[in-house]
Structure 1
Amino acid sequence: NDLRAVEVRLEQLGQFEQRISARLDTVNNGFQSRFENLDDQLQAKFSEVNGGIARLGQSRPVGDEPMASAPEPEAAPASTETEPSAFAENTADPGSVEMPPLRKRAPPPAPNPAYQRIQQADGKVYYRKIN
């Protein structure tokens, strides 16, 4: 009687394993599909950036003219981000970027005598309470 109960339970576990395996395959396929979509989008963005860099290289000023006098590229596609061009404008003339004055950091608070400081070789710091 016990043997039959164990055999029934093993059969149920086999069916359960098959259902779990099918669900994992479904999830895996979904993730692979999403990764492929993200990869395609990333490749498209790289192509846009490379095209923008090529256009900027072609419209580069000749001689000692400053970068600010270079003609702006014509209407950029609406999907491109403005951060890279803003970065390029800010770095074109390093003297035009003003850096805020450096502030000195306040010294760290005094260590609590109830804790022991442990610094490992990889630079991580841990504190252990002393009993």
Structure 2
Amino acid sequence: MLPALIAAIQLLANQPPATGAQGRPPVSTNSIGIRLAALEPGSFTMGQDGPPLEDYLRQKPLADVAKATSRIDFDEKPAHMVTITRPFLMGVTEVTVGQYRHFDSGFKRNAPRSNTADDDAACGVT
């Protein structure tokens, strides 16, 4: 499941540096401050096979529906095995606007906001 993968990355991010199977530290920081977790080859179950979202929400008071839907990965069906065949690095957190500007200096946000800061998550990037 994706939440399990995210939890594993978060655990790796809080561990002291060590050497991974490919000789890399489990978490490293690149030249612009992006923390990267080294993910090694392996297999895991991604997705879920729980009841349909409608069945789950029918049991909830209307006031709880918004809270409940933010916790349900209803679009991750069916559960299936995923195999990672090569090691790769994955960002521990989302890329910020400031970090993305290092990659694309001409980047302008699609949705204008007056309070956009460089540490906001980059969104609308295509």
Shorter-chain TM range is under 0.3
Higher relative contact order (CA 8 A, sep 6+): 2
Structure with higher helix content: 1
Structure of higher CA gyration radius: 1
TM-score using structure 1 length: 0.19
Structure with higher strand content: 2
TM-score using structure 2 length: 0.20
